[in-house]
Amino acid sequence: MSVSVASLGIPIVIAVLALVVLVVAAVLVARAIRSAPDRTAPPDAPPGGFACPFCKRPYDPAQTGGRCPGCGAAAPRRR
């Protein structure tokens, strides 16, 4: 029984291609995990300030020009 070189090459190419796909997928998952935003709870609101109703970040509108430093939303008006 003789085995040709061409018949051995195809499984090797498929194995190398599968290995490359797995390595690329692992790198993409690692990058996504590393660049994920920090989901910890924001600190308590400072005295005289409040938490943004959109992004929940605490800030003092008097110090930030009436805009949330996290998302840029305008501070709610006082009633």
Q: What is the pLDDT of residue 26?
A: 95
**CA 40, 45, 50, 52: dihedral to nearest 10 degrees?**
-10
pLDDT > 80? residue 9: no
CA distances from 2 to 9, 11, 13, 19, 71 (A): 15, 17, 21, 29, 69
Strands annotated E in 1-79? 50-51, 58-59
Q: Hunting for tokens 């501070």 — which residue is that?
A: 75
Domain range summary for the chain, segments of one domain joined by +? 1-36, 42-79
pLDDT > 60? residue 21: yes
Q: Give the residue, 2 or 30, on which the prediction is more confident.
A: 30
pLDDT per residue over 32-55, tens digit each?
887 766 666 556 655 666 788 888
How far is 33 from 29, CA to CA, in rounded Å? 6
